[in-house]
Each structure stands twice: as structure tokens, then as C-alpha cells.
Amino acid sequence: MTTPAAELVGVSQRFGGFTAVDAIDLQIPRGRLTTLLGPSGCGKTTTLRLLAGYSAPTSGRILIDGDDATRTPPEKRNLGMVFQSYALFPHLTVADNVAYGPKMRGVPAAERRRRADEALDLVGLAHLGDRKPKQLSGGQQQRVALARAIAIRPRLLLLDEPLSNLDARLRVQMRAEIRRIQSETGLTVVLVTHDQDEALELSDEMVLMRAGKIVQSGAPRDVFPAPADRFVAEFLGYENFLTLADGRQAAVRPEHLRIVSADAPAGEAVAFDAVVRDVAYRGVDLLVTLEATDPGGHAVRLLADHRADTATGPTPSAGDRVRLLAPEARLALLEPDPTPTEGIS
Amino acid sequence: MSQTVKQGASPAAGHGTSHGMRPRHPVAGTLAVAGYVVMIVPILFVVATAFTAGSTLRFPPEGLSLKWFGEAVAYTPFVEAVVSSLELAVLATGLALLLGVPVTLAIHRGRIPGKGLLEGLFLSPLVVPELVVGLALYQQLMIGLHLDNFTTLLLGHTALLLPYAVRVTGASLALTDPALEEAARGLGASPLRAFVTVTLPMLRPGLISAGLLGFVTSFNNVPLSLLLQTRDFRTLPVTMLDYVQQSYDPMVAAASTLVLAATVVVAVIAERTVGFAKIFGGINR
Ligand SMILES: Nc1ncnc2c1ncn2[C@@H]1O[C@H](COP(=O)(O)OP(=O)(O)O)[C@@H](O)[C@H]1O
Ligand SMILES: [Mg+2]
């Protein structure tokens, strides 16, 4: 295997008595897009800043292209960072912002200009080079920040919540845009986000963090159907948690719980009886709240999506006694939660 | 989009008066007008008497002439004092900025303990009476250390201006995103280059306003300059004060009018080049 583009080895960051990043081991695969995903305050930005060199870890080592860079200052790391605030230089034009990096590297003026044009072209803003950042919309500023980071031909492109300041529609458009830029440039990208949809859609590799630790990592296709523990499952939108007959914990998504009539056969599914408490109409489906006793014998409250077009059973209404089917293949088995009472963040 | 609007609006919010030349509140409006009248009318009297053809400081002026301006410009003690005052104000302002900017950076960006204390220390000359400062400098520096009177005055004025330099440039710095410097570093700039190419341009309005404020404060200062004067180094205000005590002719009014005119010219240049809103916008923070 080739050396990872970057690697954190046992890296911790403490602020006073508080541990923001707790003995993290992380490899950033070359030429791929890795996301750091987790709730606010879990240490994503701190990890990114450690990679970029804006702070030195309290302990541990940071390798870039296999070389120890733990104490290398940011200007010598050659990494392109896009800040959450974009941090465009307000006194420089868009073109000069993008040409700033090459200028600091002593690239001659004509070549600088060419590189800035090329980077602006890549983000579709070649025509706005003479404007000041203030004269651009939020989405355009974000593209300029991206172009500025790319113009230095960085070894890694680091993006801190790049889409969080954009409105919902633009956010979804920019996901595709970031994917395109990544594949056109072949850059190694590390992207921080607290949005699981964003992470699932963008990642080659996703890294889930909680309270300064990595709780799970892998390709979205591997992580999504098999969350390691309840925290990850909740974060990925699993709403229902069951204890199975053998005492193991399992999570299941609302769209995978099937509501059938009380006497229907179970087949290849875990089946148990439930009472409908509430039915909310949501257009494409009904969101059904149920009370049930799970196979482990605990009383649970469950959410099920009921799609009239695919469902086989009767349309549920409040008070109905029904049977719930959770297909074996859809059950995500969870590791026992070591600290069930610990809060998130 | 909403972010752009917010950024544009927040600095303006600090100085509502720039839009509020016609306040809606009638009492406040009346008081404001009264305030301007109290400030401006006496100045107009001085300016008017400067143009008199007579030989006393009296209003209304007797006839119209420029002769007192001629006298003022030709009066050696005034001319020498202007040179002294300018020298002192320029040097003291420069020194205060040179010392004040690093202090500001340390307070706002540095990772040092006791920032509040440091800030308090550098603002303290604002509250210590200048006469006391002057006397202390006189005793310790001139008598004690045998420093000459210009050096002592320069140190005194620098100390006097330092709080303005720290406060005003600090207000500028507080308005700039710390990520700007980090972005510059990430793009390959050394700490010094990041400072020169990014931080310093952000500080420009603060530096200009601190410079103007410092210059005017030093130029107009009386208590320190009075205590630390000698026969061969006197500032303009002290010299004019001396003059008024001895003779009561309109030459002082002419000198004052010239100073006023120079101040107006400086203000107009400042407004044209940076704009008052930008210069003084940061001070309220
Ligand atoms: N410079 C700092 N000093 C003290 N605490 C900090 C500092 N930077 C971050 N933290 C704390 O570390 C934790 C993780 O922060 P951060 O990495 O910004 O989280 P995230 O980006 O995942 O939202 C937070 O609790 C935050 O308050
Ligand atoms: Mg963050």
C-alpha cells in the first residue's frame, strides 16, 4: 500500500484541563475525499487545525506524505485550507486573493495571473477576478476561497464546514461541485461536517467523531448499514432501538419497520406486537408512532414510515393493534454501549 | 447573501450619528444644536477678530485687514514654537504607534496571561492627571536622570498618546477576522509577511485615526508642555499662553485662526482619503 497523504498518530490536543482531541489515530488516503463527521464540539475543527499546523498537538505525531510534520509551521506544509468564515482578504481583489499563495512562493507575476485564472476557471468564476470579495454572494465567496486554496497546488485540501453558511439549495449543488473538483484535480481532500447526508454523499471515507475520539470509520456503504454503536446509529438517523430475544442491541430505521395486520406471518423478520399511538401525514408516507414490547421484553416507543404504495397491510390509525416486522437484514447490531448515560458533545 | 448584509451593517451600527445629522428626537436635537452653537460661536468670534485692522482683541472688529496674520507669521517665537510643536507631535505620534501596535497585537492575538491587566496598564495614562505625570517626569527624568527637556517632553507625550494608539488600533484589530492571518500563513506567508501583507492593511484606518488623534492631542497639549518647558524649547500653545499674559493684541487670534485652518485642511484630507466613518467608526468599540 502507498503511504497515506497524511497520518495522525496518537494525537491529543488539550486546552487547559479539557481534552478536545483524545489520542486519535487517523490515516488520510491519497487522492480521496475523507470527511470528519460528528456533532458540534466533538473536535473536528481542532483536528483539521492540527493537520494544517495552526496549533501543535499536546502529544502525538503528524505525518504528511510520510514525513514528520508535527512542528512544521503552516507556511511550510503546503496545505490548502478553506475556513468556515472563508477568510478572504477584503483589501485584495478576487484575482489577487487567489494569486496570493503563488506570490508568497515567489512565482513570477505572469505565471501567478495564469494560475489564478486557472483556479478561478475551475470554480466557474473566471469573470469575477476584478471584484472585491465584499461584492460577491456567499456562494461565490466560498468558491473563491476554494480557488485560493487550490491555486497553491496543495498536498491536501482542508475544508472546514464549507457548506454550512450556504442556503439549503446551494448546499446541495455545491456537494456535486466539490465532488467534481476533487475528481478533476485528483486532490486529497479532508472535509469537516456535522451533516450526515453531506458526509454520506461526499465521502470516499468517513470518520465519525465523538468527544475527541474516533468512534467509527470506513466507506459510507460500509458504515451506514452497520453503525458500530448507538451514538453512531442515532447520528446516522436510526430512530429505533431494540433489545433482541438473545439480549443483543439492534437499531432499525423507520423506513425498514413494516406494519402488518396482527395475525400476519413473520417470515424472515423479527416480529412483535405493537399499538399505534399516532399517525402523521407526510405526503409520500405516514409517520407512525407505536408502542411495543420488543423481543427482549422492554417497552419501547418506535417510529415507522408507512408508504401506502409499497405497504401490504392495512392503513394504520391510532389505537390499532398491529404486528411490526423488522427484516433480519435490516437490523443493525450494536456493540453494547459502554457508557449509556453519557451525553453527546 | 444575508452574511454580506450583516457584515456591511455592523460597523455602521456603532456610529449612528453619521446618519443622524437630523435626529428625530426634538429634545436631543435641540441640545445637539445648542452644543454646536456653544462650541462654534466663540471660534467664529476669534476668527473674526483676527481680521481686524485695529490693535485690540475686540468684537466687532474695527475694519478689515490681514496685517495681524502677517505679524503672526513674522513673529519669531511663534514660528519657532510651531516647528517645535510639529517636531514633538510627529515624533511622539510615531513613537506611540511604534510601541502601541505590538502591544495591541499582544493584547488581541497573543497567548499571554493577564491580558486584562496589560490592557488596563496601557490605558491608565488616560486617568492619571497630566499635571501629576508632568511633575513626575520633571523630577525623575529632567532632574534625576539629567535628560534634556525635549527628550523628556517626547517621552511624556508618547506616554500620553499610547492609550489612544492601543485603543484605536485595537478597535480596528477587533473588527478583523483572526482567520485572515491564518489563511495567509497557510498560503505560504511567514508570520512577518502575513502581518505586513494582511494585518497591516486591515489596521490602516486604525493607524490613520490613531495618528490623527495622537497628533492633535500632542499639538494641543498644555499641562505637560507647560511643566516641561524651557527657554529654548516651547510648544505653540505654551508660547501663545505666554503671549496672551503679556499683550492683548489680535496677533494671537490670527495665530489661532491659522492653526484652525491647518486643522481643517488635515481633517478634509483625512475625510477624502479614508473617510471619517471609517476612521472613527472603530473607536466606539
Ligand atoms: N483554542 C481553544 N481553547 C479552548 N477550548 C477550545 C479551543 N478550541 C476548541 N476548543 C474546545 O474544543 C472542543 C472542540 O472544538 P472544535 O474542534 O471546534 O469542535 P467542532 O469543530 O467539532 O465543532 C470544543 O468544546 C471547544 O470549545
Ligand atoms: Mg468546527
* pLDDT greater than 60 at residue B4: no
The reply to whether A180 and A319 lie within a common domain is no
List the CATH number of the domain containing A50. Answer: 3.40.50.300
Contact state of B188 with A104 under an 8 Å Cβ cutoff: yes
Query: How many angstroms separate the CA atoms of A101 and A142, rounded?
Result: 17
> Does A168 have pLDDT greater than 50?
yes
CA distance B176 to B206: 11
* Same domain flag for A53 and A168: yes
Q: Is residue A225 part of a domain?
A: yes
Does A107 lie in the same domain as A68?
yes
Q: Is A164 in the pocket of ligand 1 (CB under 6 A)?
A: no
Q: Which of A186, A208, A231 is the last residue of a domain?
A: A231
- Please report whether residue A343 resides in a domain: no
CA dist B203 and B210 (Å) reads: 10
CA-based nearest residue to A256, from A276, A270, A244: A270
Nearest residue by C-alpha to atom 24 in ligand 1: A41
The answer to whether the Cβ–Cβ distance between A74 and B179 falls below 8 Å is no
**In chain B, which among 166-195 make CB contacts under 8 A with chain A?**
177, 179-180, 182-190, 193
> Could you say which DSSP state residue A76 is in?
G
Q: Which residue has the higher pLDDT, B181 or B107?
A: B181
Q: Which residue of A has its CA nearest to B204?
A: A91
Q: Which long-range contacts (CB under 8 A, 24 or more apart) does B273-276 make?
A: B273/B208, B274/B204, B274/B205, B274/B208, B274/B209, B276/B18
Q: Report the number of distinct structural domains present in chain A.
A: 2
Q: By CA distance, what is A135's nearest residue in B?
A: B4
Predicted confidence at residue B20, as pLDDT, reads 44
Q: Closest residue of B to A149, CA-based?
A: B187
Least reliable range by pLDDT among A203-207, A246-250, B118-122, B200-204: B118-122
Residues of B within 8 A of A87 (CB-CB) are 177, 179-180, 182-183
Q: Using the atom order of ligand 1, give the atom closest to the CA of residue A55.
A: 1
Q: Is residue A303 part of a domain?
A: yes
Kindly provide the b/e burial profile for residues B183-214, where b requires at least 16 CB atoms within 10 angstroms of the residue's own CB. Answer: bbbbbbbeeeebbebbbeebbebbbbbbbbbb
Mean pLDDT of A206-232: 94
Q: What is the largest CA-CA distance in chain A?
A: 79
User: Does A164 share its domain with A268?
Assistant: no
User: Quick check: pTM over 0.90?
Assistant: no
Atom of ligand 1 nearest to the CA of A47: 17
d(CA A43, CA B48): 69
Residues A160 and A289 in one domain: no
Asked whether the beta carbons of A164 and A40 are under 8 A apart, the reply is: no
* Domain boundary residue, one of A164, A198, A231: A231
Contacts 24+ apart (CB under 8 A), A284-293: A286/A315, A286/A316, A287/A254, A288/A259, A288/A316, A290/A259, A290/A322, A290/A324, A292/A324
A294 falls within a domain: yes
Per-residue confidence at B208, pLDDT binned at 50, 70, 90?
A: confident
**Do B188 and A83 make contact, defined as CB atoms within 8 angstroms?**
no
Ligand 1 atom closest to residue A345's alpha carbon, by position in its atom list: 25
A39 lines ligand 1 (CB under 6 A): no
Q: What is the pLDDT of residues A248-288, one digit of tens each?
A: 999 999 999 999 888 888 788 888 899 999 999 988 889 99
Rounded CA-CA distance A308/A286 in Å is: 8
CATH number for A326: 2.40.50.140
Q: What are phi and psi of A241, to 5 degrees?
A: -125, 125
Helical spans, DSSP H, in chain B: 2-13, 26-50, 67-74, 76-109, 115-123, 130-137, 149-174, 179-186, 191-194, 200-220, 223-227, 236-246, 251-273, 276-281
Strand partners, A12: A59
Q: Could you give the C-alpha distances from A22 to A26, A35, A76, in angstroms and in order?
A: 12, 18, 26
- Is A1 part of any domain? no
Which residue type, as a one-letter code, is found at position A68?
A: D
Q: Which domain holds residue A64?
A: 6-231
For position A340, what pLDDT does the model report? Answer: 45
pLDDT at B96 over 60: yes
What is the enclosing helix (H) or strand (E) of A241? strand A240-243
Write the residue with the smallest CA distance to atom 1 of ligand 1.
A15
Question: Are A162 and A287 contained in the same domain?
Answer: no
Ligand 1: residue of A13, A18, A24, A46 to mutate (most ligand atoms within 8 A of CB) is A46
Residues A184 and A110 in one domain: yes
Q: Which residue of A has its CA nearest to B178?
A: A87
> Are residues A194 and A226 located together in one domain of the fold?
yes
CA A136 to centroid of ligand 2, rounded, Å: 24
| Min Cα separation A64/chain B (Å) | 15
Average pLDDT value over all residues in chain B: 79
Q: Is residue A94 part of a domain?
A: yes
Q: Does A237 map to a domain?
A: no
Q: Which pLDDT band, with edges at 50, 70 and 90, does B24 fall under?
A: low
Domain boundary among A231, A256, A278: A231
A341 lies in a domain?
A: no
* Residue ranges, CATH 1.10.3720.10, chain B: 77-281
The pLDDT of residue A117 is: 95
Range in A85-99, A328-342, B75-89 the model is least confident about: A328-342
Q: How far is A133 from chain B (nearest CA, A)?
A: 10
- Which residues, in sequence order, are CB contacts of B185 under 8 Å at separation 6+? A54, A73, A74, A75, B191, B194
Domain B77-281: top CATH class: mainly alpha
pLDDT digits (tens, 9 = 90+) for B244-272: 888 878 888 888 899 888 888 888 877 77
**Amino acid identity of A303?**
L
Using the CB atoms, write b or e for A166-178: b if 16+ within 10 Å.
beeebbeebbebb
- At residue B156, the pLDDT reads 86
Q: Assess whether A43 and A183 both reside in one domain.
A: yes
Chain A residues within 8 angstroms (CB to CB) of chain B: 52-54, 73-75, 77-81, 83, 85, 87-91, 100-101, 104-105, 134, 136-138, 148-149, 152, 165, 167
